[in-house]
Structure 1
């Protein structure tokens, strides 16, 4: 394992953060909800967690002869779908809504906004909705008294496969989305929106059929008090740094390219600036997509304008998100959820305050069959900046 001392030090700092959380301190700045300054905007990045390890069915068939791949895939996909029920997004969504309602971001970038559906194995797309994470969260925000509206939703991967659900073999379908939200009573005005998928993808072959896992982004040109800026939300690839690096390059050449206005990018970037490790055969290290964005891209890591990196750790909890507070203290040991900023002239953006959500054990769900659940396997980052 590379850099063992660094990893140990980061775990010690993470444990100290958890102790603070147990004392009721949810972030590193005691910013009251709704704290505002002229021409400042509050932005948030929040990975909702799709509910299970999406790689499970693919990992299960690796190295198996073709005649064994089908049964292995069904068994693993059945386990994945059962875990999605156990990680109970409707309960977790209530806690996510509480985070958002407290910090009141004007704009929110959401990743892993899953849409789980099922249907018969008759060759038609599955259409029966089991969990629509976006609608569930919107309903919970409205119930919390802080309604939000969708600025842009971008479909990413749309994958389906057989699994046992409700006692019978079904076609289980997952559609992943990246979404930008706007607080309904925000002074931020949306001028234009867009979104797309990255060209660079991981090529896969499942049961002889080609497949690729798709990532992408959404953007919005907005105006606040006569000042315009662009808000971008993205989710870079988690499995291969080479793919994540190429996607970051697409981002910088596309929606995050200089356009004469300030740009704010929020993301689950899947790139830890402190991790120089590489997977076998890869050209780029885990930190390299981050370094591209903050180097050639000209963006500033806005969190570092406010607090040390170790106070911004955001990842990551176990698949079941039922970690005990002490387990979570060790698990939150790196930072991949980011807020980047670049002014119209290429400078960093002034920061008023920052906050890390989702690390306070008091904000877990009530007890379930597998224990109390954290809102997500990631923490969220909220920052108030001046574009």
Structure 2
């Protein structure tokens, strides 16, 4: 079966939407060589609204192909454990965006954390023309990825280990890229990157950042590049569902909510600002006959923003935190700061902390990131064991 037409369809879609990065002209030709289907396992998984269901290439090749090439912004789930998706063949547009952010050049020594299917590692190796080191926690993923990469003729050393520890045996690296999300950037990644080197990683459940290591190797700073949504490191506590939290925390009262909810659904700059200010919150929205509704929760508290018709909204809250109040305060702060876009945010990582800042429009002093008055400190906790999943 030829998959060329499917790859061309994704390429045309990205061209039409202006998603090919001008500074990385090497990417489209390499995607034409290392097509997605070459790195997809014979069993994929799809969500039916209740659970993940298998799609087997041998018994349903057409549906399997449709899943692999569903769209430029669509991943394909490649592994499910205990009903939870734990690895995927990432969306093509996201892979392209992160490869572009890496500023990869021929001859660079690269470390990848989270081998997954091996597709991203193969693209890295073809660009650098050197051996790439890729670390995968799951031997069940590492073995097949190693075979696919060898069959594709790429130079990738797939190692089994904890991605958060990097791979010191082959350090230092010019470039480091993670294919799983971290809330705190592991200090080991900075220690294993050369001064002036670049680290690209998804950050928590929304956004990916590109950091440049300082000349003294003691800090790294850089800008957020987009809205990557990757699976978290294995070992991360699973997110709780809104219903679970609400069942455990009775409501403490309700009141009118006096602002339109559409920005919570449509304005990703606001959503990112709320993620920065309130990183533990989960926000979802849906429309019913009365209008747009929203649900907010963390691990112990919840808030519902319920449309009651006529453009009116009521919020009901429960738990130790008043989450609707917290969202309003962070929303007001974002407005007061001039509604910075996600591309105006950056991150600095130091040995004992990391913090996110929003940039001014004026030049910063040499070697220093410009900031608005708001700066959000995030405790840099080094978990005992975090593992990686693409």
Please confirm whether the aligned pair reaches a TM-score higher than 0.5, indicating the same fold.
no
Coarse TM-score class (shorter-chain normalised): under 0.3
More RCO (CA 8 Å, sep 6+): 1
Instruction: Tell me the TM-score normalized by structure 2.
Output: 0.27
Q: TM-score, length-normalised on structure 1?
A: 0.28
Q: Which has the larger radius of gyration?
A: 2
